[in-house]
Amino acid sequence: MKAQCQTLIIGGRVVDPRNGVDDVLTIGIADGRIVHVGPETIPAERSIDAEGLVVSPGFIDLHSHAQNQVGHLLQAFDGVTTSLELECGATPLHHSLNAAESEGRSLNYGYSASWLLARMIVTEGMSSSDIQELPPLPLDIFGKLQANQNWQKPATAQQIDAIIDILAEQLNNGAIGVGVLLGYAPAIDPIELQKLAEMAAERNAPLFVHVRYGANVADHSAYESVAELIELCERTGVQIHICHFASSNAGAGDGPTRLLKKAIECGLPITTESYPFEFASTVIGADFLSPEVLESSGTPASTITYLPMDEKVATYSRLTELRDQDPGGLCLIQYYGPGQSAGVDELVSTLSFPGAAFASDAMPLTAVDGTDTSSCFPTSLPVPAGFAVHPRSSSCFIRALTWLHRDTGVMSLSEVISRSSDIPSRILSRTAPNFEAKGHLGVGADADVVVFDLSSAEPHASPVPVGTAQGVLHLFVNGEQLIDHGQLGVTAKGRPVFAGSSTVLQGDAE
């Protein structure tokens, strides 16, 4: 009998929240699409026995800075099939897309237009040649320009117009909304944010925002920051997605949560996300990690670990030293747990916010202990000794599955999978219709599928050494099997995903 599909996944527990499915079914894949979902088997070229395993839509990560090949491979073992850089974003968009195409990516990928990088280009007076010399990874650009100062200051009216024009050009070329790292330049004038929101609303483009102030900033509050975005949404109608809500609001109590919930219940187009870890990661030169900010809120320097030396920062003076020496160096910041202003129960409560997505905030690898990366930065697995990364970069979704469902029962399996696939898809499909075919396993959907063993799944827990999560046995990206029986198969099968049907040309405006 002639095969009706290329791959058949048989006997697994299919969990598809979008379509209300939680049953033992067979999934058929052909030409990059789901072509069969049902209790019966159909003729296929090959089959996979998934008895005792969970079959779900591949996870969609809205917030990953690990946009290189090794970052994608780490995320693949976390069940991710689409990895998006939407908080920082990319500007110029073609700069990062061309690098991804030439290097190859294992997962689907996409970018927002980066407000902060556009701001750096304009306020630092960067020429076309300066821009061409920048590294392709947006977070590397951000780290490289940390030592500059002009981008952190209020812009002139002329500069604001130039920034908006650059961002509009990136949207024309398919950027998925605008990434707004507001917390890294909190001194900007509200009029700049207003003009940005008006432009985005006109184009039906969402803003992916790191709020202006976290909970540990003297004279300001997380409540104030959430209120600012709600008011901006009310005034302009722009869709707003608040990034890493849990880390930005650690220690703020339930005020920001109640405020946000009320706004959403009133119909405002605001969404959010969090990752299931008690500690965060960013560049040590971030404004909100300055000794002055930490000291004013009574936050000790020891909440910060400088990753390149695996050093817990002992004093404010040492923090100043590190910020001067390496402002773009990556660090870890403890927000929840013993000795912190917020306990783990508060983190769990925030993670359970109705309708919120899980998103990793995955970071790129950083060299430790003087590792020379000039000739051998890792591009494959396993990652050799001499590198570190926040474990959310490889284990966000597996940790959510094991901690919040299997080990504590805080959430049902369907809810964890929904927050990892269906909810991100719905957030994006409002303005990027391509995502209507992702995040579910209905017939006709993109064949982005993860098959995992919930009973043996375990997240990777430590920044050093870098390792993968355990539990993902099979992973399909666009119908191609990237992971087969827990081992890597094909590579570089990911595709760029754009807003609408736009594509980016080599020479788009800078």
Tokens of 409: 């029962």
- 292-344 residue pLDDT tens: 989 888 889 999 999 999 899 999 999 999 999 999 899 999 999 988 878 99
The SS3 call for residue 415 is helix
Q: Tell me: the pLDDT tens digits for 206-259?
A: 999 999 998 666 678 889 999 999 999 999 999 999 999 999 999 888 999 999
> What are the CA-CA distances from residue 126 to residues 18, 170, 193 (Å)?
46, 17, 22
Q: Would you state the pLDDT for residue 218? A: 63
pLDDT at 503 over 90: no
- Which pTM was predicted? 0.95
Q: Within 10 Å of residue 11's Cβ, how many Cβ atoms?
A: 17
**Residues 104, 491 contacting (CB under 8 angstroms):** yes
Give first-to-last CA distance, the chain, whole Å. Answer: 55
The predicted-structure confidence for 25-73, as pLDDT tens digits, reads as follows 999 999 999 999 999 999 999 999 999 999 999 999 999 999 999 999 9
156-171 pLDDT, tens per residue?
Answer: 999 999 999 999 999 9
Which pLDDT value is given to residue 502? 44
- Identify the structural domains of the chain with CATH numbers, from first to last: 5-57+436-488 (2.30.40.10), 59-429 (3.20.20.140)
Q: Which residue has the higher pLDDT, 2 or 313?
A: 313
**How confident is the prediction for the chain on average, in pLDDT?**
93
pLDDT, tens digit, for every residue of 446-464? 999 999 999 999 999 999 9
DSSP letter, residue 428: H
Asked if the model's pLDDT at residue 493 lies above 90, the reply is: no
Q: Report the C-alpha gap between 212 and 180 in whole angstroms.
A: 10
What is the structure's pLDDT at 509?
35
What is the H or E stretch that residue 259 is in? Answer: helix 255-265
Please check whether residue 278 is in contact with residue 351, taking contact to mean a CB–CB distance below 8 angstroms: no
SS (H, E, C) 288-327: HHCHHHHHHCCCCHHHEEEHHHCEECCCHHHHHHHHHHCC
Is 60 in contact with 39 (CB distance < 8 Å)? Answer: no
Confidence of residue 392 (pLDDT cuts 50, 70, 90): very high
